[in-house]
Amino acid sequence: MKRLSSSKRVVVNNVVKGEIEWEVRPGGMLVQRRNMGDASSAPLIKIKVSHSSYHHDIALPAQSTFGDLKRVLAQETGLEPKEQRLLFQGKEKDDEECLHMVGVKDMSKVVLLEDPASKERKLEEMNRNQTVLKACEEVAKVKSEVDKLSEKVTALEAIVGAGTKVTENEFLVLTELLMVQLLQLDSIEADGEAKVQKRVEVRRVQGLVDALDKLKARNSNPFVTSCNAVAVSSKWEAFESGVPSSTRITQEWEVFD
């Protein structure tokens, strides 16, 4: 709406009652500018809004704008006003247009459509969330397997700590099983929360492999100190910024041959 800058003072019995502000309504009609008080005191009309398979009965002052209607519909539908498109008699209406000026009456029908760009953004976000959820489920499966292997490493620590000799094959098998889980983590494409969980499991597997390497050295020579053990912790530096490719993991595996 265009608001005129001019105004007129109304004088009744030599008393100034105030200024009249004017505005141009759609169609070129010059009328007194309405204010919120006028709108709130105007009679209510009920509008039937169709939104996909849903229907909403909205009651608001007849002098409200389509922008006002959008704000009410935002509470009903969860769609922000900028995400809404309102059609009346087959034509999209601007936020500034008044309901009664374009012919909206009691029990009139208005169609609500979601803005295509907004709908596409929500679809993309939903797809991203589904991808993250799938990745989290895959990481959770690996975590379950690593939990079982961790229990076996703990059991080996207790045996070696008690001075019992363990065959070297026990260490090799556990190490290989852990590396298989590391390869599985490497194959998971992860973002967001899934990426964080993935990194946690990678570091946990690294720690278990390091622990096995030290146990293996201690099992071979009970008198060896931790500083003499052949550790592979430095080999894991490549993982700090993410899981390496399968080829790199295979190369790191050579340290156990």
Give mean pLDDT, residues 224-231: 46
The beta-strand segments (E) located in the chain are: 2-12, 15-24, 30-32, 44-51, 54-61, 84-88, 91-92, 109-114
Q: Do 239 and 143 fall within a single domain? A: yes
Distance CA 131, CA 155 (A): 37
Read off the pLDDT of residues 154-206 as tens digits, 9 standing for 90 and up: 999 999 888 888 899 999 999 999 999 999 999 999 888 899 999 999 999 99
Same domain, residue pair 209 and 165: yes
Q: Give the domain CATH number at 128.
A: 1.20.58.120
Whether 26 and 110 share a structural domain: no
- Same domain for 250 and 132? yes
pLDDT tier at 245, thresholds 50, 70, 90:
very low
| Full residue range of the structural domain in which residue 75 is found | 42-114
DSSP string, 2-20: EEEEEEEEEEETTEEEEEE
In 10 A of CB 215, how many CB atoms?
21
Question: CATH no. for residue 73?
Answer: 3.10.20.90
Question: In this structure, are 29 and 77 located in the same domain?
Answer: no
Give the pLDDT confidence of 33-81 residue by residue, as tens digits.
555 445 555 688 999 999 988 899 999 998 999 999 999 999 988 899 9
- In eight-state DSSP terms, residue 245 is P
> How many structural domains comprise the chain?
3
What pTM was computed for the model?
0.49
As a whole number, mean pLDDT of residues 127-135 equals 89
- Are both 3 and 54 inside the same structural domain? no
Mean residue pLDDT of the chain comes to 78
d(CA 176, CA 24): 80
Residue whose pair of structure tokens reads 């295979």 in the numeric block:
250
The reply to whether 223 and 131 lie within a common domain is yes
